[in-house]
Amino acid sequence: MPDVLIAKKSASRDIASSLHPYTNLKLHESQGPLVISEGDGVFVTDEDGKRYIEGLAGLWCVSLGFSERRLVEAAYRQMLKLPSYHTFSHKAHPVGIELAEKLLSIAPVPMSKVFFVNSGSEANDTVVKLVWYYNNALGRPKKKKILSRIKSYHGVTVASASLTGLPNNHRDFDLPIANIFHVDCPHWYRFGQPGESEEAFATRLAQNLEQRILSEGPETVAAMIGEPLMGAGGVLLPPATYWEKIQAVLKKYDVLLISDEVICGFHRTGNAWGATTYGMRPDMITCAKALSSGYMPIGAVMISDEIYSALVKESEKIGVFAHGFTYSGHPVTSAVALETLKIYDEIDIQSHVRRVAPRMQERLHSFADHPLVGETRGIGLVGAVELVADKSTKAPFEPSAGVGAFLSKRCHHHGLISRPIVDTIALCPPLIINEQEIDLMFDRFSMALDDTLEFIRTR
């Protein structure tokens, strides 16, 4: 059968059979999927043979690109040896032990134990339960509220979607659940007041946080979760001094800090952890995605010794720490994660990121003067371009205009996969990208942006 017919057939089979995450379901019925069938390096190929730069590393995760054979072989070797096992009720396996040790050895601050999960959402869901269990162990049953932030992204399970601060993750899903509150979004470009410096903005947000803790009652506020920089909310970098000031408030009221490193972790910002880049000293850390270069579903929660001691006490009282997933620390996912971390060390991915990041940032910021662009922002190998209807007033486009979606489609046309977050386009390529590929990515983006300007001018 000719390739075109096969492609058409698989699109209609997909429409007939699959419910897609994060998709306009009605539109999908007429538009169908882009069917990606192969990957190599920073590129993926659709089933018609068209090649794209994966400008978002899949979903911010495929750090080593789409053809790292060592990860395939690590999975195969582990499959032959012990293809499946669990870590419930005092069981362990060598590769899980080694991975936990490795994670503790690279943690940004001293951590005591690692709990394995299968995704970022499960990691953050686990954290919610640990915070509650911890405060029960300490005899503080009222200290249960968890603060998150508007525009944050922490996942989609009932608890992690509640932490997420994006309206569509709550709307008609009857979320958020009780005891989760959202405080200010630290996006200076959008929420800074006229004439307010980044530092003054950070001071105001820390003061607002303190007011919120006081009005809720410090004895009821248990923790705050934050991505070092907000990814899926639009690549929002914290303003200068933000984390320093926020942490001072949390410390004052004995509120735990949880760093969600699901995007920032494993060198994305030029350091192994976003917490290091922004001077955070978290009590718990969640990570996933680049932990296995996205090749296997695995995530982890790291906890401090203080938290661990409390969990021990409570589980002794109850007789069990009754939390865990069948695939927590699955041997094959663990083997792939361990190999990923070995590769990061062997190829010194951190130095590579630091070497090519200036090119990424230079090309990204070169769009700042474009008539459609309100703000360009980024660090390391992550960045975003925010489109606006009016540069001087920062007025956004009407959502119904679909400008971000149009730009993203033009990116596809020119051979680049990127992600529209309303009218912000995020770029987060595989960490192995080189300078020529960075140029190619932005050359393609530039053509798509000019098409979008044309579309707006002639509409």
- Residues at the contact surface with ligand PLP, assessed by CB under 6 A: 59-60, 119-121, 124, 153-155, 227, 231-232, 260, 262-263, 288
Q: Minimum CB separation from ligand PLP for residue 118, in Å?
A: 8
- b/e map 279-288, b = 16+ CB within 10 Å: ebebbbbbbb
Residue 243 or 397: the one with the smaller Cβ distance to ligand PLP is 243
Q: Minimum CB separation from ligand PLP for residue 1, in Å?
A: 35
β-bridge mates for residue 44, sequence order? 39, 52
Q: Minimum CB separation from ligand PLP for residue 101, in Å?
A: 23
Q: Minimum CB separation from ligand PLP for residue 164, in Å?
A: 8
Residue 259 or 376: the one with the smaller Cβ distance to ligand PLP is 259
Three-class DSSP labels, 296-346:
CCCEEEEECHHHHHHHHHHHHHHCCCCCCCCCCCCHHHHHHHHHHHHHHHH
Peptide bond into 399 cis (omega under 30): no
Instruction: Please name which of 446, 384, 383, 387 lies closest in space to residue 414, comparing C-alpha atoms.
Output: 446
Query: Which position's Cβ is nearest ligand PLP?
Result: 120
Q: Minimum CB separation from ligand PLP for residue 197, in Å?
A: 27
CB 367 within 8 A of CB 328: no
Residue 269 or 452: the one with the smaller Cβ distance to ligand PLP is 269
Residue 359 or 377: the one with the smaller Cβ distance to ligand PLP is 377
Residue 137 or 262: the one with the smaller Cβ distance to ligand PLP is 262
d(CA 447, CA 24): 26
Residue 121 or 340: the one with the smaller Cβ distance to ligand PLP is 121
Q: Minimum CB separation from ligand PLP for residue 126, in Å?
A: 12
Q: Minimum CB separation from ligand PLP for residue 61, in Å?
A: 8
CB 227 within 8 A of CB 282: no
Q: Minimum CB separation from ligand PLP for residue 238, in Å?
A: 14
d(CA 384, CA 236): 8
Instruction: Give the rounded distance of the alpha carbon of 256 from its chain centre.
Output: 20
Residue 262 or 372: the one with the smaller Cβ distance to ligand PLP is 262
Helix (H) or strand (E) holding 216: helix 198-216
The DSSP annotation for 357-423 comes to HHHHHHHHHTTTTSTTEEEEEEETTEEEEEE-SBTTTTBPPPGGG-HHHHHHHHHHHTTEE-EEETT
Residue 226 or 331: the one with the smaller Cβ distance to ligand PLP is 226
